[in-house]
């Protein structure tokens, strides 16, 4: 959210400034101020763990949607006519470890799928949400899980970021 002067509080001076723009387009989500606080903590933890840098401030968009909205995106962009928990849309193709571009891209999350998964996996909703924000954010930074080797690297990074936030290993 542009103009929030304290949204970078607690970030090391060397950490890049990432502006987070939130759009809550579905009912059932936490209040926007809580979502913004979760997003800020999560992004800051990921940046700290990655040691990622950038020459200019970057922007990230988080869309808090529902199954219907994400199903439409999943069908249109991935050819999968079903809802999913999170989708990432990078603004630029970058490789893991590259400097941050001025625009990172969009992360879209679906409330029903995330709620259902957290319930089935007996995880706190907020922990699962944070894990998916980390997962989506890593995709925007060039990480992927198409091969077993890529998945190992990405999952290890997810575990380290989540550990910084005192969230148990989601893959255990």
**Full domain range(s) for residue 142:** 18-164
Under the banding of pLDDT at 50, 70 and 90, the label for residue 54 is low
Read off the pLDDT of each residue in 99-107 and give the average, rounded to a whole number: 95
Name the maximum alpha-carbon separation found in the chain.
43
Flag whether 11 is in a domain: no
* Domains: count for the chain: 1
For the ranges 14-18, 60-64, 134-138, which has the lowest average pLDDT?
14-18
Flag whether 5 is in a domain: no
Residue 31 has pLDDT above 80, yes or no: yes
What are the C-alpha distances in Å from 55 to residues 38, 47, 97, 98? 25, 14, 14, 11
Read off the pLDDT of each residue in 103-123 and give the average, rounded to a whole number: 97
The CATH number of the domain where 145 resides is what? 3.40.390.30
Flag whether 91 is in a domain: yes
Flag whether 114 is in a domain: yes
Q: Residue 64 in contact with residue 21, Cβ under 8 Å?
A: no
pTM of the model: 0.89
Flag whether 124 is in a domain: yes
3-state secondary structure at position 62: strand
Show the tokens assigned to 89.
């849309």
So what's the pLDDT on residue 153?
A: 96
């Amino acid at each position: 959210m542009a103009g929030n002067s304290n949204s970078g509080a607690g970030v090391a001076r060397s950490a890049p400034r990432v502006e987070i723009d939130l759009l809550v387009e579905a009912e059932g989500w936490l209040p926007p101020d809580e979502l913004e606080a979760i997003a800020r903590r999560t992004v800051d933890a990921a940046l700290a763990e990655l040691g990622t840098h950038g020459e200019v401030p970057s922007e990230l968009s988080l869309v808090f949607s529902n199954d219907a909205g994400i199903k439409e995106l999943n069908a249109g962009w991935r050819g999968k006519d079903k809802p999913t928990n999170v989708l990432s849309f990078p603004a630029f193709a970058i490789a893991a470890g590259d400097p941050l571009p001025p625009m990172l891209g969009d992360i879209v999350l679906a409330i029903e799928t995330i709620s259902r998964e957290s319930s089935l996996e007996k995880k706190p909703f907020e922990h699962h949400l944070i894990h998916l924000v980390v997962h989506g954010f890593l995709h925007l930074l060039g990480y992927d899980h198409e091969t077993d080797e890529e998945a190992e690297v990405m999952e290890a990074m997810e575990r380290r970021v989540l550990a910084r936030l005192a969230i148990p290993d989601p893959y255990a």
